[in-house]
Structure 1
Amino acid sequence: MQFKEIVGHQSIKNHLINSVKKNRVSHAQLFLGPEGSGSLALALAYAQYINCEDKQEEDSCGLCPSCRKYEKLIHPDLHFSYPFFAKGKDETATTYMNEWRKTFLTNPYLGLNYWREQLDSGNKQANINIAEAHDIIKKLSLKSFEAEYKVLIMWLPEYLDTQGNALLKLIEEPPEKTLFLLVAENQDKIINTIISRTQLVKINKLQHEEMNNYLISEKRLDPKRAKEISFIADGNIQEALNLLNEHGESETFSMLVNWLRFIVTDNGKELISLTEDKLSKLGRENQKSFLLYTINMMRQIILMQQGLKNLVFLQEEELAFVEKFSGLFQFEQLEEAIDILERTHYGIERNGNAKILFLDLSLQLVLLFKYQTFPTRRDSII
């Protein structure tokens, strides 16, 4: 993985490259960024650059023996750790290494749900178990085979839990030329004793323009379609890929407008028809994307309402809709609507009954927008 293959994050790339040039490579670093931002890919590109035998000014060479092995994830001094769904207490990440290589090389922006889909996980919980912690200690206690640095990339240390205490001494006082790169999405779920021993590399979500350009140039989408997916995915390439796999011809905006029109006019017949005939039949990923699109649109309305039009990046019909809608409702109503939408999204994600969830959502929004009645959680089945 080379830096040039990763979408956006030029300032982060420059920072990582300069840390190598100035010989300021911290032995334990925490790459913290949201799902689909490319944080895992950045960590791998960084490790490849560190061990490249012919470093270029702005990237690894991609041609030396080290880079060739890194590109295939087969370098003997490159180790991975990640959550898996153990069938036995003695299983480690190495058990699933072939699946991991195939998955990452197919999609370096993967999220945990995507990784789960590649494995026969059943209802098992993701975990990095104590056997994996002991295996890491064993692997990193050995001398390097051929590279200057031994590298461990741990994806989602949030799933390490208390087993991480077994690694504390190794992280704090590692063998010479040993590099820990932890790639996380939620800092609050990582045990503090690990955070305190790492140097933070903060990675923000991708900008809409970066995502838009990626979808047009790499996925060959027309600009209108790319703009819509960029808006829904909101910086998450994994979510954008989900949308590409699930969506047919897009009608998200027109469906949203019709749905909200039926809500604010309390048109029960049309509302039930739309819920049962369209929303409930979209498929789970499309339902989630519709809700994310609506949530993002509500946030754009709030920005417009608060006089922050310069932060609203919509154009044409969507911009006109946001401008009109922002004058109709109070901030508190919009804020409550977002909360209701997020809870419905969670219900869909947990495989709830879509017809019931969307009808309940619609009725709550009728109360909120038409009658200015704020539903409570007890009013909802969610």
Structure 2
Amino acid sequence: MEYQSLYRRYRPGRFDAVRGQQHVVRALRNAVRENRVAHLYLLSGPRGTGKTTLARILAKVLNCENPVDGEPCGLCASCKSVEKGTSFDLHELDAASNNRVDDMRDLLSKVALGTPGRTKVYLLDEVHMLSSGAENALLKTLEEPPDHVIFVLATTEPHKVVPTIRSRAQHLELTLLPADEMAEHVRWVIEDASLDVGADIVSHVVRVGGGSVRDTLSALDQVVAAGGISHHDTSSSELLEALAERDAGRAVAAIAEALRIGRDPRVIGEAFLGVLRNVLLVSLGATSTQLTEAEHEQADVFAPRLSAATLTRALEVVGTALVDMRQAPDPRVDLEVALVRLTKPAADTTLASLAERITHLERQLAEGDRATAAPTAVRAAATTALPATAVPTAAPPATAGPATELTAPAADTPPRPGPSRGARDSPPGRPGRPSPASEARSQLERTNRPPARSEAPPASPASIPPPARPGSTPSSTAVPTAVPTAVPTAVPTAVPTAVRPLELEAIRGDWDAVLEAMPRKVRVRFSGVGVREVIDGTVVVAFPNEVHRSRCEEFRLDVEVALATRFGTRAPVRFVTDETATSRADGGERAGSAPYDAPPEAEADDVIDLAELTDAPRGGGIIEQLTSAFPGAELVDGD
């Protein structure tokens, strides 16, 4: 007996032998069992999914002499003639090669003729290839065929079939088989055919088949004939590795190796496009059922290393290269250029490439921030936990360095009313020296801010000069000498002289002193506000209403700085709304000893702190200002 290919040898002859198309099998079996067979069916789906096979089984069961529960017996003369291809009840026509009007007219002229069986079945394969004239000639017969005639149209592209034909047919869509079901079918074929192949062959043929039963069994036939897999193509894995490492040389070398073993550039590109899609699906958590176990493992390895933006751009670039290969004199060049553009973003100046480079940098920065987050938090905690030491009465003169020149402010300098000298002497457009609480707040923000990867480690707390007590003003000798090449670094001017416990009574007793250390505008906002309790180290400040609380929310850090300055220990502050806060304050339970003598809260925004003012720019009158703002302007009428 001559050899028969595996896909022909194991072509199903019954509905229950068809794999992976249960929805179509159920519809056809029920129609046969209940005698409700339609006059026109449209079977669509990828190649090798069973369209022609199902049409032949339908023709067999409709003319079977002994059908059982919608299944052909397979023993009668009609069933055997259909299996051999000699039946007069089944007429197959390849519409791809018989697509002319004359071919269709010849077929239709024989439709009304009788046959030995009960039903005449016409199978038109690749019906979307019919010409417009042939479709029009077929349309009338499809609409009202003879009672004993059934048409089955098969196509891989149903969208190309004219709507007038689709609307008259029952459309049944076939699908590709999942990888696990296909692997089970291949193992059954190997066992039934007594094939001597290794376990790795199953994964290989399932991947090559891509869900098509015919393609999978053809690949198995080829492997058996060759005595195993002729070569293991690793070009796709090498290209993924080159893309992840941004190694253009490795990508070009992988293409050269694949070409050396006989792979076509387009086949290489299509395979690479497939693995890119697999990695993208896995990275998005939308795993396809068509992936084999080996493809799953490969995608799991590269999904964390390639961002969605990189994979999307790679799919676009490789897909465009595959389209350009059709007209290229050397398709290899298009594929190599595409991979160089992907692995060397500097060689690609398109907007998509620039966006991908930005995404790559953001990802690197995010990974760097996560790596430095833990040590930064430890350093910040250690800095906050260190007790403050007493402020020395005199500091040794600082040596002028190449960048800054700093001296410790005197601790016993009496406070000076009005704006500081720094505020009066500052040039126009430059703010004066900030208040002590503002400087302490800035220093606290710098301490809590995680350093950039390129910066040096932060200085230890002992290396920071101790600033003065709250309320003190730096003396004129403490102003650093201007250095043309650098700007003096701000140093906090208010730190505690000793660490004190954060207890409720202590905070309430010093609440007025805490408010005094803050700018006047902040003090006004906190008029009539008291400390309600201390819970697990958190200071709870109560406000009489929600409006008052929301207006003071922006100064939460100022309060934390002032408390840390006063007590030597930083504690978080939480603002709450308590309608009884005002009554308690009037009854003597407020945080301070007496209410702060300040304007009402509604007038807080009108309070002006002279230390925060800057000098107006020097200049003449309004005419000179307009002339300088609009060069070339001339005064027309002086009156």
Above 0.5 in TM-score? yes
Q: 2:204, 2:71 → 1: CA distance?
A: 32
Q: 2:104, 2:328 → 1: CA distance?
A: 33
Q: Indicate how the Cα distance of structure 1 residues 198 and 280 shifts in structure 2: closer, same or farther if over 3 A, else same.
A: farther
Structure 1 equivalent of residue 56 of structure 2? 44
Structure 2 equivalent of residue 2 of structure 1? 14
Q: Indicate how the Cα distance of structure 1 residues 311 and 39 shifts in structure 2: closer, same or farther if over 3 A, else same.
A: closer
Q: 1:369, 1:180 → 2: CA distance?
A: 59
Q: CA deviation at 1:201?
A: 1.2
- How many equivalent pairs are there? 330
Structure 1 equivalent of residue 144 of structure 2? 173
Normalised TM-score (structure 1): 0.75
Q: Contact 2:65 / 2:76 at 8 angstroms: preserved in 1?
A: yes
Structure with the higher fraction of residues in helix conformation: 1
Q: Does structure 1 residue 202 correspond to structure 2 residue 173?
A: yes
Matches within 5 A, 1:317-336: 318-336=295-313
Q: 2:329, 2:214 → 1: CA distance?
A: 22
Runs of 4+ in 1 over 6 A off after TM superposition: 347-352, 368-373
Q: Does structure 1 residue 276 correspond to structure 2 residue 247?
A: no
- Map Cα deviations across residues 199-222 of structure 1 (whole Å, 9 max, x no partner): 111212222223222333325454
Q: Report the more deviating stretch, 26-35 or 202-211.
A: 202-211
Q: Indicate how the Cα distance of structure 1 residues 222 and 78 shifts in structure 2: closer, same or farther if over 3 A, else same.
A: same
Q: Contact 2:52 / 2:154 at 8 angstroms: preserved in 1?
A: yes
Q: Does structure 1 residue 299 correspond to structure 2 residue 269?
A: no
Q: Report the more deviating stretch, 215-224 or 22-31.
A: 215-224
Letter in 2 for 1:78: L
Q: CA deviation at 1:150?
A: 0.7
Which structure has the larger Rg over C-alpha atoms? 2
Structure 2 equivalent of residue 60 of structure 1? 72
Q: CA deviation at 1:344?
A: 4.7
Q: 1:35, 1:346 → 2: CA distance?
A: 22
Q: Does structure 1 residue 142 correspond to structure 2 residue 113?
A: yes
Q: CA deviation at 1:264?
A: 3.6
Q: 1:370, 1:261 → 2: CA distance?
A: 19
Matches within 5 A, 1:127-276: 128-143=99-114, 145-162=115-132, 163-218=134-189, 220=195, 222-240=198-216, 243-244=219-220, 245=222, 248-252=229-233, 254-276=234-256
Q: CA deviation at 1:255?
A: 3.1
Gaps of 5+ in 2: 1-12, 355-639
Letter in 2 for 1:282: G
Letter in 2 for 1:306: L
Q: Indicate how the Cα distance of structure 1 residues 33 and 349 shifts in structure 2: closer, same or farther if over 3 A, else same.
A: farther
Q: 1:66, 1:313 → 2: CA distance?
A: 41
Q: Contact 1:233 / 1:239 at 8 angstroms: preserved in 2?
A: yes
Question: 3-state SS of the aligned residue for 2:151?
Answer: strand
Q: RCO (CA 8 Å, sep 6+): is it higher in 1 or 2?
A: 1
Letter in 1 for 2:306: F
Letter in 2 for 1:338: L
Q: 2:159, 2:205 → 1: CA distance?
A: 29
Q: 1:372, 1:51 → 2: CA distance?
A: 66
Q: Contact 1:36 / 1:238 at 8 angstroms: preserved in 2?
A: yes
Q: Contact 1:229 / 1:243 at 8 angstroms: preserved in 2?
A: yes
- Map Cα deviations across residues 40-61 of structure 1 (whole Å, 9 max, x no partner): 2112112211111111236311
Q: Indicate how the Cα distance of structure 1 residues 351 and 32 shifts in structure 2: closer, same or farther if over 3 A, else same.
A: farther
Q: Contact 2:179 / 2:292 at 8 angstroms: preserved in 1?
A: no
- Map Cα deviations across residues 300-355 of structure 1 (whole Å, 9 max, x no partner): 3223222345968553x644442232223332332332344445555678897453
Normalised TM-score (structure 2): 0.47
Q: Contact 2:211 / 2:290 at 8 angstroms: preserved in 1?
A: no
Letter in 1 for 2:206: S
- CA root-mean-square deviation: 3.2
Question: 3-state SS of the aligned residue for 1:75?
Answer: coil
Gaps of 5+ in 1: 86-91, 93-127, 377-382
Q: Indicate how the Cα distance of structure 1 residues 265 and 313 shifts in structure 2: closer, same or farther if over 3 A, else same.
A: closer
